[in-house]
Amino acid sequence: MKNWFKKTVPFVMFAAAWALILAAFLLGERVPKQISLALFTLGGLLLGFGAVGIALSRIHVSPELLKEYERGEKDERNVAIREKAAMSSWYWTLYMLWAVFMAIQIFVGGLWGVAISVVIVLHCAFYMVNIHRWNKKL
């Protein structure tokens, strides 16, 4: 039952995505713009997940290769490399968020400045939570 469910869900998502996109096109001006955007967004999201699910279901990997992938995932050197990459990407995204924050404060201000401030604070809070979580695991 579970295997059947895994095989059919991507196709259902793919079909539902096209139905939502078609509905958004057909309804056009008869519905508010927000509903049309929501239909397009949900359709695009389902289309992406469905297409990736279908593609992944068609890829067949040998058991030996799966064991090699699993061994590579748990290798200490690979874990250290991923941790360094995550730390570096955190710093770069923080700098990008600060640049956007400054640009919005200079050119726009107001509610957008508050919104980007909240995103920066959440970015830093998620970092601290993950550091705490990983320290408990190690």
- Tell me 124's DSSP state: H
**92: pLDDT confidence band, cut at 50, 70 and 90?**
confident
Domain ranges of the chain: 2-58, 75-137
- Tell me 31's DSSP state: S
Tokens 């064991």 correspond to 67
**42: pLDDT confidence band, cut at 50, 70 and 90?**
very high
The model's pTM is: 0.49
Residue 23, token pair as written in the block: 């509905």
Cβ neighbours for 124, distance < 8 A, ≥ 6 positions apart: 94
Nearest partner of 126 among 94, 98, 102, 104, judged by Cα = 94
Residue 90, token pair as written in the block: 């955190």
Q: How far is CA 128 from CA 99, 122, 125, in A?
A: 21, 10, 5
Cα separation of 43 and 10, whole Å? 13
- In the chain, the N- to C-terminal Cα span, in Å, equals 38
Highest-confidence range of 21-30, 80-89, 127-136, by mean pLDDT? Answer: 21-30
**57: pLDDT confidence band, cut at 50, 70 and 90?**
confident
Q: How far is CA 122 from CA 44, 79, 85, 116, in A?
A: 27, 25, 20, 10
pLDDT value of position 29: 84
